[in-house]
Amino acid sequence: MTERDDIDLTAAEFALGTLDADERRSVVERRRADPGLDRAIAAWENRLAPLLDEVAPVEPPSRLFAEIERRVEVSEGLGATAPGPLATATVIALERQVSRWRGLAYGSMALAAMLLVALGVVTGWSRYGVKGTETFVAVFQKDDAQPAFLMSVDLATREVTIRAVTADRKVGKAYQLWIVAEPFGPKPHSLGLLDSDLGPTRKRLSDLEPAVLQKATFGISEEPPGGSPTGQPTGRAIHGTLHQASP
Amino acid sequence: MGRTVEGMQKPPPDLARLMMRVAKRDRAAFAELYSATSAKLYGVTLRILNQREIADEVLQEVYVKIWERAGDFDAAQGSPISWMAAIARNRALDELRRKRSFVQDSAAEVLEVPDPAILPSEAAERSEDYRRVERCLDRLEPDRRDMVRLAYLEGWSREQLSIRFDAPVATIKTWLHRSLIKLRDCLGQ
């Protein structure tokens, strides 16, 4: 079998859907660096797509689109200029948090590359009832220009959602999410990898009390594929912290 | 196949145009795109995931992704609906495979699963493109054809196919590869 056949069969099985989780991840990783593989996958997706005519359409629940629009607004960068649930947004640099991370077990390389922490405080989430402040947003910011990642936390469900805003997909790199919070001691605790495709990543932190979650510091570091080999951040890291928003 | 006359079901003519507007951050176009395509993508997602709660979540992520990636869509590479369906299927499969790595399928479970894939649903619209793929699938042995359908439409893994068709996983893989090559050669694309 030639290398080209091999690529085509990988593409075919990816599009068919029979690869396991690890194989799928590896293909997603490879196609970014390999336009041939990317084209082969697209060709297979097009070849097989007519079969989807066999699937009867099903109307999704009507509430879904409002939720999608809300997420789109968050993804568009806090929606500061858009009307809607995100009434105001402010971004504050928090030097204090940087020094807090400096105190942690970081290598000097990572320290040198330490990036500014920024925080977005969002108010006016009226849909969350009388308290109105159960959802928070933190910005992971590389520079003064634009946020790299945006994280929203719903304290009611203890669900964290991270979206890439300007962060780039990198070949041979994974982004890993960390938390520094009381129950885990002073060192960062891994919350797992972000979606390798940089789609939204959702984590449910059901073990953490909302009060603990609110005080936690979050970090995102660049790691080798599969995550940090040491159990601690090894690569460049950017950080964000949640604060209580005033209603 | 019993039907003799079928209007060629064209996709809504403006999907490609809507995609271009969505790429330019046009929210009204996004809403139109959603209403034109969400039932299709939800059907596809639900068929793979079989659980509404999970499919609801996945569908939301899929449309946010479509919003974010609309600029990457290349009309020369395929139709908007194929591109969107690929995003939906990939997201649904990732979810399914992730779950499966924790919960092993029991043999009984797989064997008892009804297989609507094997009997194509009559309710769905059929396109000329569909008929071409169907003609090519019909050239495969019935077992192989069912495998392709179960994998593509229901998200079955090689392991599940291996239990269902009572063959080692490596054999399933070989059969799938041969079927896919035949399919590609038959479709001539």
Question: What local confidence, expressed as pLDDT, does residue A97 receive?
Answer: 33
Cα–Cα distance, A157 to B81 (Å, whole number): 33
Band of the pLDDT at A86, cuts 50, 70, 90?
Answer: very low
pLDDT of residue A237: 66
User: Given this model, what pLDDT does residue A175 score?
Assistant: 85
Nearest by CB: A50 against B52, B130, B156: B130
Predicted-complex ipTM score? 0.86
3-state secondary structure of A74: helix
Flag whether residue B135 sits within 8 Å of chain A, measured between CB atoms. Answer: no
User: Rounded mean pLDDT of chain B?
Assistant: 83
10 Å CB burial of residue A26 (0-12, 13-18, 19+) is middle
Answer whether A9 sits within 8 Å of B180, measured CB to CB: yes
Q: What confidence tier does A185 reach under pLDDT thresholds 50, 70, 90?
A: confident
A193 and B CB contact within 8 Å:
no
**pLDDT one-digit tens code per residue, A121-162:** 232 222 233 334 466 667 676 543 445 777 777 777 888 888
pLDDT of residue B114: 45
pLDDT in tens, B135-188: 999 999 999 999 999 999 999 999 999 999 999 999 999 999 999 999 999 998
Name the percent of chain A in helix, strand, coil, to the closest 5: 35, 25, 40
Query: To the nearest whole percent, how much of chain B has pLDDT over 70?
Result: 78
Interface with chain A: mutation pick from B32, B177, B178, highest number of A CBs within 10 Å: B177
**What CA–CA distance (Å, rounded) separates B80 from B12?**
10
**What is the rounded CA–CA span in Å between residue B32 and residue B48?**
25
- Of A112, A58, A119, nearest to A244 by C-alpha is A119
Distance CA A141, CA A144 (A): 7
Tokens of A102: 């400096």
Query: CB under 8 Å to A186, separation ≥6 — which residues?
Result: A103, A104, A180
Kindly state the average pLDDT of the residues A229-241: 73
Residues of chain A found within 8 Å of residue B153, distances taken between Cβ atoms = 51-52, 54-55
Of A13, A24, A55, nearest to B153 by CB-CB distance is A55
Cβ(A142)–Cβ(A238) below 8 Å: yes
Q: In Å, how far are B24, B35, B82, B174 from B29, measured between CA atoms?
A: 10, 10, 18, 44
Are A49 and B78 within 8 A, CB to CB?
Answer: yes
Tell the residue number behind the tokens 């039907």, with chain if given.
B3
Q: Which residues of B touch A18 (CB under 8 A)?
A: 151, 156-158, 161, 173, 176
Mean pLDDT of all residues in A22-29 = 93
CB contact B129 to A (< 8 Å): yes
Which residue blocks in A17-83 are alpha helix, DSSP H? 21-33, 35-48, 64-75
Q: How far is A216 from chain B (nearest CA, A)?
A: 26
Tell me which residue has tokens 């400096």. A102
**B73 contact A CB<8A:** no
Tell me the chain B residues in contact with residue A39 when contact means C-beta distances shorter than 8 Å.
77
CA B31 to chain centre: 23
B71 interface with A at CB cutoff 8 Å:
no
Query: What was the pLDDT predicted at A77?
Result: 53
The CA distance from B152 to B145, in Å, is 11
Q: Cβ of A18 and B156 within 8 Å?
A: yes
Among residues B163, B131, B173, B68, the alpha carbon closest in space to that of A54 is found at B131
Strand partners, A201: A162
Please indicate whether, in this complex, the C-beta atoms of A57 and B39 are within 8 angstroms of each other: yes
B99-108 long-range Cβ contacts below 8 angstroms, 24+ apart: B100/A20, B100/A21, B100/B157, B101/A20, B101/A21, B105/B157, B105/B159, B105/B160, B105/B163, B107/B163
Average pLDDT over residues B26-34: 94
A82: nearest CA partner in chain B: B27
Report d(CA A17, CA A178) in Å as an integer: 31
Contacts of B117 in chain A (CB under 8 A): 54
H or E stretch at B43: helix B27-49
Which residues from chain B sit within 8 angstroms of residue A36, using beta carbons? none
**What are the beta bridge partners of residue A222?**
A175
Distances (CA, A) of A195 to A100, B45, B61: 27, 19, 12
Q: Read off the pLDDT of residues B50-107 as tens digits, 9 standing for 90 and up.
A: 888 889 999 999 999 999 899 999 888 889 999 999 999 999 999 898 765 444 444 4
Show which of residues 151-180 on chain B sit within 8 Å of chain A, judged by CB atoms: 151-153, 155-158, 161, 173, 176-177, 180
What is the chain B residue with the closest CA to A165?
B68
Q: What percent of chain A has pLDDT over 90?
A: 23
Q: Give A75's contacts in chain B (Cβ within 8 Å).
A: 64, 67-68
Mutate to test the interface with B, among A10, A53, A67 (most CBs of B within 10 A): A53
Strand order through the sheet with A189-193? A189-193, A174-180, A217-223, A237-241
**Structure tokens given for B95:** 């979810």
Say yes or no for a CB contact (<8 Å) between A18 and B125.
Answer: no
Q: Which amino acid is at A186?
A: P
C-beta atoms of B133 and A199 within 8 A: no
Question: What does the pLDDT look like over A187-225, one tens digit per residue?
Answer: 778 888 888 777 888 888 877 887 777 777 778 878 888
